Structure 1
Amino acid sequence: MAAPLATLKAIKSTVRKRISSTLHSLTQDEIKQQTEQVTANLLRQPFFHQSRTVACYLSMPGGEVDTAPLVDAVLQSGKTLFVPRMDPLLKGRMDFLRVYGQDDLATFPAGLWGIREPGECYQGGRRQSDSDNLDLILVPAVAFDHSFGRLGHGKGYYDRFLTQYKATTRNMPLLGKFSFRHGPRIGLALQEQILEGEDVPTNELDWRMDVIVGPNGIIHRPVAERR
């Protein structure tokens, strides 16, 4: 039987505080080393090489994988990059807006929680929003588990986005176990964020990942279990 909503929120809060305390005890050198391993593990995957459009978060100043090297790699590869922007008028909603290059990225001011965000406009026009053909959606978290459950920061941005996102029906031309019907949900994690012998508390509104990329490698969800 599922836990009552109030109880689930309390459990999530307790786990979130515990993991967050561990993450903020990591040194910048430890995060940098793990970031390099996570980035290398992702960049060598067939699903990255064959992707054309990538949605990637811009990381907080600490406590998670630093996505700056990955963002650089996406832009240098010629892929189209989209990054989140929180909706200032609608609580809990975010859109993914296009980044047009390194010079564009360098102009982004820090927004909520010190995370850089793009403006709505670019060179006098409206900045392109996410399309229905995102090949990869890279997702942050406080913690993941080996059942591909995700514990976010408690604001619901990603779960709402993934619920509303109109996934394409085309099949990506990927290889074997990495064949996805839609743009896969890829969790990026420091080793301390991948729980061992423990599941993160979730309910039916919480989206699971298709792949989790950590410093020691990747784990992938069986194709039959993906949605």
Structure 2
Amino acid sequence: MIDEEKKRIRREIRQLKNAISLEDKIRRSKLILDKVEQLPEFIAAKTVMLYWAMEDEVQTSDFVVKWAASKRVILPCVNGNDLDLRVFRGEEDLVAGENFGIPEPSGELFLDYTEIDLILVPGVAFDVDNNRMGRGKAYYDKLLSSLNAYKLGVCFDFQLLQSVPTDEHDIKMDWIVSE
């Protein structure tokens, strides 16, 4: 039952995302990320795990580059069924990722997870109780379960729902920022 509901939500959100141009996604993303920059948790964070966005996600590339100048920025890299973490050292250090072709840092692995202060987390949908629903591969859930950092979900307004179905492995966010 939960799986069917998740499939339905993923399908509906995909349709809504497809109806928005990349230019509009970039504009909306700036509104979201401007709010992120004002949060005390982000301001205080020295090491942040961000992400290099897929085309249908909150667009983060400019944000990653901007903040790498003053914070240590970590990006996730797909490795089989898991996410490895690597330090972002600039756009020239990026290579096409294993599964989705998302640009990923090519440098050394980042292993000291206790140093991560804040994580910016994408998702298919979130709800008012800070639950997150991903794409179904559990990449982030597996990683987030091993981290104590502040978990900040980011999404477009139409991705913030009253309720999303959850499983026991789903990790709650500490806060969610939308437009």
Structure 1 runs (4+) greater than 4 angstroms displaced: none
2:65 alignment partner in structure 1: 72
**Partner amino acid for 2:77?**
R
**Partner amino acid for 1:212?**
I
Q: Retained in 1: the 8 A contact 2:41–2:150?
A: no
Offset at 1:147?
0.9
> 1:187-226, aligned counterparts within 5 Å?
187-195=153-161, 198-215=162-179
State the structure with more CA Rg.
1
Offset at 1:74?
1.4
**Partner amino acid for 1:128?**
F
> 1:1-227, aligned counterparts within 5 Å?
7-60=1-54, 62-77=55-70, 79-88=71-80, 91=81, 93-104=82-93, 107-119=94-106, 122=107, 126-165=108-147, 167=148, 183-195=149-161, 198-215=162-179
**Partner amino acid for 1:11?**
E
Offset at 1:29?
2.3
**Partner amino acid for 2:16?**
T
Offset at 1:24?
1.3
Distance of 1:44 and 1:150 partners within structure 2:
22
What are the superposed Cα offsets for residues 15-68 of structure 1, whole Å, 9 maximum, x if unpaired? 1111111111111222111011011111122211111000011100x2221011
SS in 1 for 2:103: coil
For residues 164 and 128 of structure 1, do their structure 2 counterparts lie closer, same or farther at Cα, with a shift above 3 Å needed?
A: closer
Distance of 1:128 and 1:207 partners within structure 2:
22
Distance of 1:193 and 1:114 partners within structure 2:
24
Q: Retained in 1: the 8 A contact 2:131–2:172?
A: yes
Distance of 1:29 and 1:206 partners within structure 2:
31
For these two proteins, the number of residue pairs brought into alignment is: 179
Q: Retained in 1: the 8 A contact 2:25–2:58?
A: yes
Once the two structures are overlaid, the 10-residue window that deviates more, 141-150 or 129-138, is 129-138
**Partner amino acid for 2:113?**
S
Offset at 1:184?
0.7
Identical counterparts, % of pairs? 30
Distance of 1:110 and 1:161 partners within structure 2:
17
Q: Which runs of 5+ in 1 are unaligned?
A: 1-6, 168-182, 216-227
User: Which one has the bigger strand percentage?
Assistant: 2
RMSD: 1.6
Q: Retained in 1: the 8 A contact 2:85–2:111?
A: yes
1:3 alignment partner in structure 2: none
Offset at 1:99?
1.3
